[in-house]
Structures are given as C-alpha cells and as structure tokens.
C-alpha cells in the first residue's frame, strides 16, 4: 500500500527536510520516494532537481518518477512492458508499444465504449497530476460547489459564436456540462477539438453553466531530457514512397539509393551515409490500389504485390548494416482504421532478402536508446480542416497532438478509428523523436525538447493534389544523429 507524506514527523533530519521541501511546495510525495532521495545524498539539491523537472507542480510524486529523474531519464507517465522486436539483426531496436499481435476489437458498441473509457481514464490520470487539478470534482457535483472548481471532461461539442465566445460541452462518467469560455480566457480553447480530454478551472454560473477561468491540456513536460545513443549512428526517414505510381520519383530515389550505398556525395556526405544504420518509412510505402476513384489511370504497377516487389528490389542493393523499418499508411495493404497492425506475412515474405522490421501505425520504439513515436499521420488532415491550420505546417499540428497527448482524438472525421479496448492513439510516453508523413511535405521543428519531423515523399504532384492546389516537397531526407540528437536534411531533388 502506498503511503503519502504531507506532514508526518520525520525520524531522520534529511527525511524531514525533504518532506518539508515538498510540503512547502504543496506536493505530496510517496514515502519510498523520500527514502530514495535521501539515499542519493545531497537531499535538498536532489529534491529541487525533481521538482524542477515538472512544467507545472504535480499533485503527487511517485518513486518511479524520482528514480527516472535522478537516474537522468525523462518522466514517463505510463510504462508498458516492452515487447521483443521481431527482427533486429545486428541492430538495437525495442518495440515499446504497438497494436501488432494485440488487436482484440470486434466492432461492438461495447468495444467503442471501452475505447473511450480507456482514453478518458489515461488522459484523466495525466491531467490529475497537475497542481491546478488537485481539487477536481465530478461534473455531477460541480454545479453545487461555490468558489473555484476544477473538472476534467471529454469534449463532446464546441460552439463558436461570431463574437468570439465559445461554449464547450464536456462529459465525464457522472454527468455532462456546458462550459462558457469568455473571449479573454480563450488561450488553448481556440484549438480545441471534439473528443479530446481537458481540465477546466472556473466557477459555477447561472443556469448550470460552468464559467471557465482556464483550460488545461495534458501536454508534455517542458524540460524533456534528451536520450541519445552511446555509439555513432544515423537514422534516415523516408515517408510516402508511393512506388507503383506514375508520379514516383525514380531518378531522385535512385540518387538517394546511390548515396546511402556510399556511391555518391562529397566526403562529408559519404561519411554520414556510411553511418546510416536505420531507414524508417512512416507509411504509404507503395501507391496501393483502389484508394481513390480512377486511381488505375495513375498506376505504373497495377498489382499491389508487384508494387511491394519493386520496393524490395530497390532495397536489395542497400549495405548489410542497414535495417529498414516499415510502417503501413492509408495506401498500404492493411486495414484502414487506426491503429493499423504491421504487414502480414504475404507482404513480409516479399522482403525476405532485406534486413527488415515491420511495425504498426502508430508505434513507439527505441532505437539504440532513442525513443521514437512513428505515426503515418492520417489525422493531420482532420486537425488541418477543423482548426484552419495549413497542412504545409504539419509540425504546428504535431505540437497540438502533443498538447492533447492524443494523435487522433476526433471520432467520425476522415480518419477511421478501430474500437480497440486500449486507445493506442493516446500519447502516453514522451518520445525523443516524433515523426509523421502523409501530407507530402518536409518539416523539422522542436517542441519542449521533442524533435518533430515530417518526412517528405518520393511522389511528384498528383492530379488530385493539383486540383487541391497542394504543392508537395519531395525527395528530401531528414537524418538524425543518434549520438547527439542533431537533425539535418539531405535534398535529392533535381
Ligand atoms: Fe501519401
């Protein structure tokens, strides 16, 4: 059983000092966590170090949190048991979280209810750690309370008026409520989307309305500590290859293959190429078939297995020390609904001569100790259209995903969600690298220490994109040095 300290007289002087320090900061700390801090020596310095790791003061601190911080690792709120990677020949990859082999949905109403319950509970736990949420109450009790209240709810509706005020409907397991957000308190409310989970501080108003003082998203900690590999090595990201399409950029692709095989580039570029140990392909690795009306007119290879075979041939000339990590997207031969499991054996067998690892979408994996969240990015369009954010700025949307701690909150939009009993789209870990594709552009950015990448494409502008007035940014390769976390970009365009 856990024991919480706020004002228990300490037997030892150091323990008393540590407890008093957290007490002064209105933070509960687990008994075992106090012991751990004392064991490390320099107890007040370490207590401060622990608290400094949080963006907002947490409500309570556990032994696991303290161990991770003082061991020099980042806060990870949920730590699922790592799975064994299926293929890791000569490489150091650990699959941390992936639906592959774990899918258990049948599509019943019960499954959907379980999915949303899981989402709510996991995001509630992230929000509940925040200092502002320490007096959180159920919605059924919120209306009767006087003075400031805190509630946590899932957004079920958003009404934005022309005069800039917003009414947000929320629900928890006990009740529903409508929250009035005055214009001057808008903040993050301007980018709220349905089905995300938020915290609200405010007061009860007339007619059962809650009047918001602030809207709080789960978000990620401010000072993410960078995890790096102990040895030299690079990872390159190649999204949306779309081989099999008439608009696949064969010449630019060949230029890349020559470079990564050490046959092109200046001295410095060849040295980087020699150090590339991993290629990560975040989805749409082939053009696919039957994805949109009249797609057959745009196909160079009409058989989907023929498209995978063409890609496998391209990879045959890669140096043996490179591991290719392949994830499906919405053009690939797996189910459309998220989360998508990795390719089945009929596709895997095609790559039997390639040092390949197949992952689901999304997937958390650790590459030589560097944690990555790899996600094709289907929901980027949903955020873009709902919030009016240009899809050419995917990292702006990826920041909102991290703030929501969810990759695809909106149910019923373009992005289909499978009713798994666990919500794999919840961002329950803070990665070092968060990579997406899907929007066929190239972007590098950072948010609170997380490297954000949108990994280009190898497809020229399609007729559909012309019609939509979208200009892709193809044939660019983001490359990350695993030893120091630095990112750069290689351009293989003509
Ligand atoms: Fe694509």
Summarize pLDDT for 119-135 with one digit per residue, the tens.
999 999 999 988 889 88
Q: What is the pLDDT of residue 461?
A: 92
Sequence-ordered alpha helix ranges (H) in 297-417: 304-315, 345-348, 380-387, 394-404
CA of 240 to the centre of ligand 1 (A): 5
Is 186 a residue whose pLDDT tops 80?
no
Q: What architecture (CATH level 2) is domain 4-70?
A: Orthogonal Bundle (1.10)
Q: How far apart are CA 56 and CA 105, in angstroms?
A: 37
**131 vs 170 pLDDT, higher one:** 170
234-491 is a CATH 3.40.50.620 domain: no
CA of 480 to the centre of ligand 1 (A): 22
CA of 48 to the centre of ligand 1 (A): 46
Residue 69 pLDDT level (bands cut at 50, 70, 90): confident
Is 90 a residue whose pLDDT tops 80?
no
CA of 282 to the centre of ligand 1 (A): 10
CA of 290 to the centre of ligand 1 (A): 14
Q: How far apart are CA 340 and CA 359, in angstroms?
A: 9
Q: How far apart are CA 428 and CA 148, in angstroms?
A: 29
Q: Which of 76-90, 262-276, 356-370, 479-493 has the lowest mean pLDDT?
A: 76-90
Q: Which residues of 248-261 are buried (b: 16+ CB within 10 A; e: fewer)?
A: bbeebbebbbebbe
CA of 323 to the centre of ligand 1 (A): 22
Q: pTM (2 decimals)?
A: 0.81
Q: What is the pLDDT of residue 54?
A: 60
DSSP 120-161: HHHHHHHHHTBGGGTTB--HHHHTT--S-EEEEEEEEEEEE-
The pLDDT tens digits of the residues spanning 346-384 come to: 999 999 999 999 999 999 999 999 999 999 999 999 999
CA of 454 to the centre of ligand 1 (A): 12
CA of 4 to the centre of ligand 1 (A): 50
Q: How far apart are CA 299 and CA 244, in angstroms?
A: 6
CB 253 within 8 A of CB 236: no
CA of 190 to the centre of ligand 1 (A): 29
Is 72 a residue whose pLDDT tops 70?
no
Q: What is the pLDDT of residue 10?
A: 42
Class of the domain covering 122-216: mainly beta
Residue 3 pLDDT level (bands cut at 50, 70, 90): very low
Q: How far apart are CA 192 and CA 174, in angstroms?
A: 22
CA of 90 to the centre of ligand 1 (A): 30
Q: What is the pLDDT of residue 76?
A: 33
CA of 440 to the centre of ligand 1 (A): 6
Question: What are the extents of the domains in the chain?
Answer: 4-70, 122-216, 234-491
**255 vs 36 pLDDT, higher one:** 255
- The size of the chain, in residues, is 494
Q: What is the pLDDT of residue 161?
A: 81
Q: How far is CA 228 from its chain centroid?
A: 18
């Amino acid at each position: 059983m856990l024991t919480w300290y706020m004002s228990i007289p300490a037997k030892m002087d150091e323990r008393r000092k540590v407890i008093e320090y957290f007490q002064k900061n209105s933070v509960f700390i687990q008994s075992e966590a106090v012991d751990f801090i004392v064991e490390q020596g320099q107890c007040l310095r370490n207590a401060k170090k622990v608290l400094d790791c949080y963006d907002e003061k947490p409500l309570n601190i556990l032994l696991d949190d303290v161990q991770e911080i003082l061991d020099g690792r980042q806060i990870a709120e949920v730590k699922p048991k790592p799975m064994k990677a299926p293929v890791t020949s000569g490489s150091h990859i650990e699959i941390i979280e992936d639906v592959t082999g774990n899918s258990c949905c049948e599509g019943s109403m019960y499954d959907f209810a379980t999915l949303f319950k899981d989402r709510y509970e996991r995001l509630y736990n992230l929000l509940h750690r925040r200092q502002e949420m320490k007096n959180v109450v159920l919605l059924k009790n919120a209306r009767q309370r006087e003075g400031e209240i805190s509630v946590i709810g899932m957004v079920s509706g958003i009404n934005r008026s022309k005069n800039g005020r917003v009414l947000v409907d929320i629900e928890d397991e006990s009740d529903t409520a409508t929250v009035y957000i005055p214009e001057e308190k808008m903040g993050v409310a301007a980018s709220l989307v349905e089905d995300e989970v938020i915290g609200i501080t405010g007061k009860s108003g007339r007619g059962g309305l809650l009047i918001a003082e602030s809207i709080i998203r789960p978000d990620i900690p401010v000072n993410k500590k960078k995890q790096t590999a102990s040895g030299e090595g690079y990872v390159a990201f190649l999204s949306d290859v779309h081989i099999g399409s008439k608009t696949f950029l064969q010449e630019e692709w060949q230029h890349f293959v020559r470079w990564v095989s050490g046959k092109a580039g200046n001295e410095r570029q060849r040295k980087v190429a020699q150090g590339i140990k991993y290629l990560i392909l975040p989805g749409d690795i082939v053009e696919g078939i039957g994805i949109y009306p009249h797609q057959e007119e745009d196909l160079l290879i009409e058989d989907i297995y023929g498209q995978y075979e063409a890609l496998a041939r391209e990879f045959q000339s890669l140096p043996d020390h490179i591991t290719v990590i392949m994830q499906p997207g919405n053009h690939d031969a797996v189910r459309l609904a998220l989360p998508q499991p990795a390719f089945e054996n009929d596709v895997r067998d095609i790559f039997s001569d390639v040092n390949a690892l197949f992952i689901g979408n999304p997937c958390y994996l650790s590459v030589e100790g560097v944690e990555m969240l790899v996600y094709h990015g289907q929901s980027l369009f949903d955020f873009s259209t709902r919030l009016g954010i240009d899809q050419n700025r995917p990292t702006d949307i990826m920041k909102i995903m991290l703030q929501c701690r969810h990759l695809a909150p909106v149910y019923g939009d373009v992005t289909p969600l499978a009713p798994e009993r666990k919500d794999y789209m919840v961002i329950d870990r803070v990665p070092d690298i968060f990579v997406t594709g899907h929007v066929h552009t190239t972007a590098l950015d950072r948010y609170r220490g997380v490297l954000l990448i949108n990994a280009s494409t190898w497809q020229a502008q399609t007729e559909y994109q012309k019609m939509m007035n979208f200009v892709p940014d193809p044939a660019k390769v983001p490359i990350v040095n695993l030893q120091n976390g630095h990112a750069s970009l290689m351009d293989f365009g003509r």
